Structure 1
Amino acid sequence: MNLEGRKIIVNKSVKDLTEMLKNAEDYKALMPDSLQNFEAREGGFKFGLKGMPEIALKIQEVTEEKVILVSASSSLDFALTGNMSPISENQTEVQLLFDGKFNPFIKMMVEKPLKNFIDALTDKIEQL
């Protein structure tokens, strides 16, 4: 299952975004308003949104081109990638991509909430 967020312009340099995305605690500021709990961990974080089960993510890779977050649970196989392209010294184009390997039943249950989550994340990132 693949989902794409819309491309946005962030008024931060790629370097500033990269530094921010290396720190698990900084992801709290990007979470949707429905955030109920957030816990930064070594190399990742765990969060819960209203009406959804808790999700644990590991920060797999952060470069000036992309950030990759992967599921910390062995029962869920997915990655959330944020592609970053510099536009100018203080502006970066960002797009979120979700790639998950789910059975058809799980896909049917999670597709709409995941799309809403990606849209909410995109909105928060755009406000940086």
Structure 2
Amino acid sequence: MNLKSPKINISKSPQEVFNFLSDVKNFESLMPENISKFEVLGDDKFLFALKGMPEIILKKKEAIAPNKIVLGAAGGKLDFSLVGNIVEINETSSDVELEFTGDFNPMMATMIKGPISKFIETLVTSIPNAI
């Protein structure tokens, strides 16, 4: 299953956006209102839970400055990744898009497609106000 957030323009350089997304502590400021738990577990790992959903641990798997951050599931039964793609428009402007990729059975994919789409859209649209 592949889902993409809307592409948004941010009035920050790609390096500034990359630096922000590289610090896992900053993801707390991007979370939706229905977050019930957020905990930093290390320099490259955090746990979060949304109301009514199980806890999820995300770990920074790859960082290619200043254009790409890859977070992936750290443990649990689900294998997925969340990729932040950062494209330079000019020195002070970037486009950012989040891409969710996971390997799920068809029934699970149908159940989580809507909530995951809304979740990644919330994350990406929160970035301009959080930086």
TM-score by length of 2: 0.90
> Which residue identity lines up with residue 107 of structure 1 in the other structure?
A
Shift of 1:127: 2.8
What is the CA–CA distance in structure 1 between the aligned matches of 2:21 and 2:79, rounded to whole Å?
21
Aligned to 1:6: 6
What is the CA–CA distance in structure 1 between the aligned matches of 2:22 and 2:124, rounded to whole Å?
18
- CA contact under 8 A between 1:10 and 1:127: conserved in structure 2? no
Superposed CA RMSD: 1.3
Shift of 1:51: 2.1
> Which residue identity lines up with residue 62 of structure 1 in the other structure?
A
Aligned to 2:61: 60
The number of residue pairs the alignment matches comes to: 128
- CA contact under 8 A between 1:24 and 1:41: conserved in structure 2? no
Q: Find 2:106's aligned residue among 104, 107, 118.
A: 104
Q: What percent of counterpart residues are identical?
A: 38
Aligned to 1:39: 39
What is the CA–CA distance in structure 1 between the aligned matches of 2:24 and 2:124, rounded to whole Å?
18
* Runs of 5+ unmatched residues, structure 2: none
After TM superposition, list the pairs within 5 Å mapping 1:15-34 onto structure 2: 15-34=15-34
Displacement over 2 Å in runs of 4+:
none
* Runs of 5+ unmatched residues, structure 1: none
Shift of 1:105: 1.7
What is the CA–CA distance in structure 2 between the aligned matches of 1:82 and 1:11, rounded to whole Å?
16
What is the CA–CA distance in structure 2 between the aligned matches of 1:4 and 1:85, rounded to whole Å?
15
